[in-house]
Structure 1
Amino acid sequence: MNHLTVKNFGKPDEHVDLSGHGHRDMVMLDGMPIELAEFERGWRWSTDVKPMAGTDTCQVHHLGYCLEGHLRVHMDDGTDQDIHAGDAFEIPAGHDAEVVGGGKVVLLDFGKAFDNR
């Protein structure tokens, strides 16, 4: 489409609560999801999202930017990578992730983050 569109995360197209450890809000722009995720201290994908996803690890490819905090990603192949505020990231399918430290993590995800509900 070729028109101006503006959406606000204060009124997302979709909101998902993550077991009290955070939430994900999504807006759609030209058929593409953009997600703003906030993960609180203690959040871990395998604890807070796995029951909803129904898979052993996250099977979604993520492309995004970390606005705040420290996230550790654990890949199925055994490698780990830390993501910090200011980092752009690409995370392939087949991973777990957890908040590190005492603060929350805030991410923007420009991809298919809602495909693993």
Structure 2
Amino acid sequence: MNEVMEKTEALIRKPINQPDEVRTFLDDKGRLSVFGVGGCTLGRGEFQPGWRWSMHVKPMAGTDSCKAAHTGIILSGKMCVHMDNGEEVTYQEGDAFYMPPGHDAWVVGDQPCMLIDFTGAEHYAVKH
């Protein structure tokens, strides 16, 4: 990140088209734009049709399932999340979500899934 702020005594503005970092998924199936804002790390995820965590992020993460906890909002499209324990939910545009660690996920349908992640972006899709 360009900056880490321990105090938020100043106003901060970061245009969505100027992230601090962009992490591209394998096979060009999307990307995570990462923003450091007021001591928080936010992510704007763009997941293309055909994207699946186990195919396009797992090789970078080096874990059997996603170990990040994600809290956010689906801006457009649909994403299905399958937990290691068998639970499964499909999120769609307008849904707020929480995805605990231990899951796979994939885009549903032929439209990209766009989301904002408030809690899981700091270490997501980082090559190990």
Pairs aligned (count):
117
Unaligned runs of 5+ in 1: none
Shift of 1:11: 1.3
Sequence identity percentage: 41
Tell me which residue corresponds to 1:62.
Answer: 70
Q: Retained in 2: the 8 A contact 1:9–1:26?
A: no
Once residues 82 and 74 of structure 1 are traced to their aligned partners in structure 2, the CA distance between those partners, rounded to angstroms, is 9
Q: Which amino acid aligns with 2:13?
A: V
Confirm whether residue 14 of structure 1 aligns to residue 21 of structure 2.
Answer: yes
Q: Which runs of 4+ in 1 moved over 3 A?
A: none
Task: Report matched runs for 1:1-117 at 5 Å.
Answer: 1-19=8-26, 20-116=28-124, 117=126
Once residues 81 and 25 of structure 1 are traced to their aligned partners in structure 2, the CA distance between those partners, rounded to angstroms, is 24
Q: Which amino acid aligns with 1:104?
A: P
